[in-house]
Amino acid sequence: NAGVTQTPKFQVLKTGQSMTLQCAQDMNHNSMYWYRQDPGMGLRLIYYSASEGTTDKGEVPNGYNVSRLNKREFSLRLESAAPSQTSVYFCASSGGQLGTGELFFGEGSRLTVL
């Protein structure tokens, strides 16, 4: 019963390096999301995808790109990592209408940028 799976769980990057966070869900959900979590700031939406083939910016999209590869997979790419992108990243999916349905979260990816 996998649910939402994120990889990698931990990553250390140097400033300027690039990397991709992978996310896959096996619940046949239409909507997928990427959030970042920082102390005292809750979860902030980076990008979301309402359905396969569509992506939209959230609250904090600068410095990130996403790809909705198919219905199952939604990846987040940092092209040139900056220390301000040190955070815990969560992928989530939902079967309901955007903003109204329960979100199912992965376990998170902890990224440190030196």
CA 3 – CA 69 distance, rounded (Å): 17
Stretches 22-30, 69-77, 78-86, 90-98: which one binds another protein (CB under 8 A)?
Answer: 90-98
Nearer to another protein, 17 or 37 (CB): 37
Counting beta carbons within 10 angstroms of the beta carbon of residue 73, is it exposed (0 to 12), middle (13 to 18) or buried (19 or more)?
middle
How is residue 105 written in tokens? 């979260």
Q: Among the candidate windows 19-27, 61-69, 74-82, 93-101, which touches another protein by CB under 8 A?
A: 93-101
Q: Between 76 and 92, whose beta carbon lies closer to another protein?
A: 92
Burial (CB count <10 Å: 0-12, 13-18, 19+), residue 86: middle
Is residue 108 at the binding interface for another protein, with CB under 8 A as the rule? Answer: yes
The SS3 of residue 63 is coil
Q: Find the binder of another protein among 4, 23, 32, 60 (CB under 8 A).
A: 4
Is the C-alpha dihedral spanning 24, 64, 49, 33 positive or negative?
A: positive
CB of 24 to another protein, least distance (A): 14
Positions in the binding site for another protein (CB under 8 A): 4, 33, 35, 40-45, 48, 58, 90, 92, 97-100, 102-103, 105-108
